[in-house]
Structure 1
Amino acid sequence: MTVPRILFLSHSHAFGPFRVGSHHYARALAADGADVVHLSTPISFAHRATGRISRETLAAVPRGPHVDGGVTHVVPRTLLPVPYARFNVRRELARHGLPTQYDAIVLDQPLLWSDALRDMTTRLIYRPTDLYPDGVKHTLQQRILAAADGVIATSSEVLHELGALTVPSLVIVNGVDAARFTTTDTAERAAVAAYVGALDARFDWAQLAAWAAAHPDVRFAVAGPHGSAPDNLPSNIDLLGAVAYDDLPTLLHGARLGLLPLSDDPLNAGRSPMKLYEYLAAGLAVVTRETPVLQADPAVGLYTYTHAADADAAFTRALAHVSPNQAGVARAAGESWEAKARTLREFVLGL
């Protein structure tokens, strides 16, 4: 096989403020010579009509195929959300004149599953990025596992929750575009604690507020879209809204500490937060709630807490960590997307 053709079926498109694993894998594999198409969850008319997707967000998403970094991106439009929409991946690709046969399909969005995918490739890989204990995604996940040729999970917890598998499996945790986030500036950072990411049920607003109240001399910079912040947050919390991916390095280089205040949501147990290595690569120490995936490593500036009672002590230790956190930078350098893409490619094409 000289030029492998690979299709990613992903939960997120690449035209918003977030970059997810499938975006990075697609880019790295294309740079390595693969022919890569990235198709993401359709944007439905229902989402647009109810305001779940803003006009500004929609305007940033190209209609039809868009090539960037050697990857052909497709964001379909449907009347109803999947899986209720009558959506067919093969038909969507053919409509745009794109290939419908692939050496490998890597699927991380259960809602894009259909039996027709099995006929489009000899290597169907399921790449679960989250826990789906029940609901529609759980049902679809069971069907995918019955048809898949291999599984690549983003954490050992996610892999464990799939149960006994009859196909080859591998864990590849999320990585980092280290070159983008690393800086040569060695000046000690100001007392700024940053959070970048989603502000949904998995985010612990109460813990953020408690840290801010206990440390009025620290500025808390919170970047993320679609958040419903509680009232009366301490005045040293700045809600920045969505920050473009290209602007994240500048934001993080102005901070000393990266925050991962995970809530009690049980789905946090399997998360492999991409921000962990982005924080470290940018020279920040990190404080996070401990999970089966996220464990303390003070030597590289990673501090954890288990509940509210010990959260402030972990925050204080992380804030006192040497700045910039060069040990964290070195640790993140070993978690590049390029290295992980090579591992993924070897696993997938070796099936």
Structure 2
Amino acid sequence: MTRLLFLSHSHPFGPFRVGSHHYARVLAGRGADVVHLSTPISLAHRVTGRVSRADLAVVPSRPRRDADGVLNIVPRTALPVPVGAPTVARMLKRAGIDTRFDAVLIDQPLLWDSSVRSLSDAVIYRPTDLYPSGVKHRLQQQILDAVDGVIATSDEVLRGLGPLRVPTLVLSNGADVARFAAPAGADAARAARCVYVGALDDRFDWARVDGWARAFGDVEFVIAGPGRSPQPLPANVSLVGAVPYADVPALLHTARVGLLPLSDNPLNAGRSPMKLYEYFAAGLAVVARETPGIRGRSDLGIEVYTGDEDADAALERALRHPSPNVAGERAAADASWERKTDALEEFLRAVRDRSA
């Protein structure tokens, strides 16, 4: 049986799912023994309130195998990584996990230490973001000097790494198509409702949502995610807080358009938004700020804008797109996590053959 280790930035016990969760799920379903270790929760995180008591309560303190067969580990440490925390090898040993794997895939630079290289003959870096400076940039440089291959989530992320000496692959995020698909027979046109589900940090453009809501007073805007608006919003904007992952499809099925109002944060240039294909899979048209990884395709129901001057027209086109968005549903099927995992496994085989 193939043994795989994911070293990820996010654990699967909150409202969000990231690429490593989906790859782990599909690979476990194909018979692999998959361990998913995510960023430790440190005493410092708990004392400073960066991890709330409510958030901590849902995260198991010991390894837990989920319904898909993935063994999830969220270590508890005194100090945060990479300052003073145990090495990955030591955290695995503490959890009673055999430390030898057929492949290791790391997407969290903060989890890099010298022990990671010893865990497998095939160590793959899977960057999901741009790290132009800081601690993550420094650790990323160490990773690139040591790994056997790189799988980036976008062309922009790959370019940001500079020249590389190892095999590379660009594999954008996908969608759990079966989970997000609308129920059979639900083919009636949907009401004029727009929805966003995701993080509400500095990469989210609250001002753009405010502008849309004022320009389209007869359209309802639903914003789902942990966080609050920094400004008062019109009455046709509803903030519903974080929505459990299991409930997201039902929310999307009530809407006509999915929103990706990206701010002008330069790090948005490297994003491969998972929500794009989840929106498609749920039958939504999409309106998004244009980035190197998000281009307009009116035939698929994705309309883009570059700034305030063309944002309203882009949303108007998305609202006019046939509903449900059948063309988008087909595009999502081509970007399923099963197909993404096919490509990932092929790359892993090639890297392992090259290393043999």
Instruction: Please give the range of the TM-score, normalised by the shorter of the 2 chains.
Output: over 0.9
Match for residue 340 of structure 1?
340
Q: Deviations over 1:227-269 (max 9, x none)?
A: 2312321111100100000000000000000000000000000
Provide the C-alpha distance between the structure 2 equivalents of 1:51 and 1:88, rounded to a whole number of angstroms. Answer: 24
Matches within 5 A, 1:1-351: 3-68=1-66, 69-183=68-182, 184=184, 185-225=186-226, 227-351=227-351
Aligned-residue offset at 1:4: 1.1
Provide the C-alpha distance between the structure 2 equivalents of 1:346 and 1:231, rounded to a whole number of angstroms. Answer: 48
Gaps of 5+ in 2: 352-356
Q: Deviations over 1:101-127 (max 9, x none)?
A: 111000000000011111111001000
- Runs (4 or more) in structure 1 with deviation over 3 Å come to none
Task: Name the SS for the 2:191 alignment partner.
Answer: coil
Aligned-residue offset at 1:86: 2.4
Gaps of 5+ in 1: none
Task: Name the SS for the 1:259 alignment partner.
Answer: strand
Deviates more, 1:183-192 or 1:295-304: 183-192
Amino acid at match of 1:11: H
Task: Name the SS for the 2:72 alignment partner.
Answer: strand
Aligned-residue offset at 1:348: 1.1
Aligned-residue offset at 1:85: 2.9
Provide the C-alpha distance between the structure 1 equivalents of 2:190 and 2:52, rounded to a whole number of angstroms. Answer: 36
Amino acid at match of 1:214: A
TM-score (norm 2): 0.97
Provide the C-alpha distance between the structure 2 equivalents of 1:5 and 1:199, rounded to a whole number of angstroms. Answer: 35
Aligned-residue offset at 1:87: 2.1
Provide the C-alpha distance between the structure 2 equivalents of 1:193 and 1:36, rounded to a whole number of angstroms. Answer: 37
Amino acid at match of 1:268: N
Amino acid at match of 1:304: V
Aligned-residue offset at 1:49: 1.5
- Between the aligned residues of both structures, percent identity stands at 62
Aligned-residue offset at 1:346: 1.5
Provide the C-alpha distance between the structure 1 equivalents of 2:249 and 2:70, rounded to a whole number of angstroms. Answer: 23
Deviates more, 1:299-308 or 1:40-49: 40-49
Task: Name the SS for the 2:115 alignment partner.
Answer: helix
Provide the C-alpha distance between the structure 1 equivalents of 2:116 and 2:70, rounded to a whole number of angstroms. Answer: 20
Provide the C-alpha distance between the structure 2 equivalents of 1:175 and 1:283, rounded to a whole number of angstroms. Answer: 15
Aligned pair count reads 348
Provide the C-alpha distance between the structure 2 equivalents of 1:99 and 1:345, rounded to a whole number of angstroms. Answer: 22
